[in-house]
Amino acid sequence: MRKKISRQKFKAIYKYKKCNNYLLMSDFSMLIIAWYEQNGRDLPWRNINDSYKIWVSEVILQQTRVDQGRDYYLRFISRFPTVGALADAEEEEVLKHWQGLGYYSRARNLHYASKQVMTDFKGVFPTDYDDVMKLKGIGAYTAAAIVSFAHNRPYAVVDGNVYRVLSRYFAIDAPIDSAKGKKMFFELAQELLDKKQAGIYNQAIMDFGALQCVPSNPDCNGCVLKDSCLSFGNDEVRKYPVKSKKTKVSNRYFNYLYIVNGEFTYLQKRTKNDIWKNLYEFPLIESSRLYETEDLSRLALFSETVGVDVLKISAPVKHVLSHQCIFTKFYTVAISDESVLFKDFIKIPILDLDKYPVSRLMEMYLEKTTR
């Protein structure tokens, strides 16, 4: 069995000598780049030095698969081709173009940061790492990606793919979701970085994790690093990366009222610091369970409304987010008059529903019901 690397000594061992068939750091980088030149993905945000476009792509890909994110990126850049165009747009339009990607705080931060570029950097996207870090919503990973991809600056990127490659290759059992583990992986990634080819190397190791060293059933026998990979040599590939925490998922119950008043319906805007902030939705009642028909009759909203008719109740829908599971029913209710309680809603023509940015949950319902 190959000996595991010491957490305190990994830099010295791998930087200065071969040890137990491990690669020199320069050899590791060389193999990763050579693999990338043969197997790297052809993506629209590659081989460009436009910091703005690289930034948009990285923010989209934070919580989105590449195959899904590509089309969103192309549409977003088509509408907002420059940082100035994004800064000049209304937030609702930005959210509408983001619709379906989820994690809408990313879009709000993009919009806010674009205004920062216009005011703080005279409309020119910053090239310095520390300046990029000043922009809202940008952390160490995104800043490193932008400055290394666009300007070949020597900053290592550490995303989920990089965690997986490094933890397996070096058999590092430090949890990737702990402060100590994150610091350790960042230091190791920075040591491995080919500083003369920082942008190419960063993209190479990310693609290597996405295509070769995949989460489940990686093709280790066909891997260019198999002869020196500790977890492969010890038959422990499935063990890595290590996490210390389990994500706690909470259940929520949403009862949506799709109210039909002739050719009109009603929306409300989510304004609290919660999921889907600043998106629109049907009037919502959040409760400890999903409602039945008789529960609707007891609502003050309808007890003071003339001519209420429950037309349809959808089957329960389960919508899973990263930390929440939303159980939902949509209740289609026809009314012939409206009470004063409707004053807090936005009355719109039903045909205008697609003009408003909504959550993916709402979008899926509308796709089946009103189109």
Active-site residue numbers? Answer: 58
CA pair distance 302, 335, nearest whole angstrom: 9
CA dihedral 48, 50, 56, 58 (to 10 degrees): 50
Burial category of 311 from C-beta neighbours within 10 Å (exposed 0-12, middle 13-18, buried 19 and up): exposed
* Dist. CA 306–CA 308, nearest whole Å: 6
CB 185 within 8 A of CB 162: yes
**Token pair in block for residue 111:** 């919009």
User: In 3D, which of 161, 131, 164 has the Cα closest to residue 146?
Assistant: 131
List CB contacts of 204: < 8 A, sequence separation 6 or more. 32, 33, 35, 36, 40
**179 close to 185: Cβ distance less than 8 angstroms:** no
Residue 180 token pair: 């100590």
Tokens (6 digits) for 347: 């009355």
Q: How far is CA 23 from CA 192, 204, 228, 258, in A?
A: 11, 17, 7, 62
* Cβ–Cβ under 8 Å, residues 323 and 348: no
Q: Which two structure tokens, joined as six digits, stand for 159?
A: 């995303």
CA distance 275 to 20: 50
Residue 147 structure tokens: 């400055």
Among residues 38, 18, 36, the alpha carbon closest in space to that of 27 is found at 18
DSSP class per residue in 9-59:
THHHHHHH---TTPPPHHHHHHHHHHHHHHH----TTSS---HHHHHHHHH
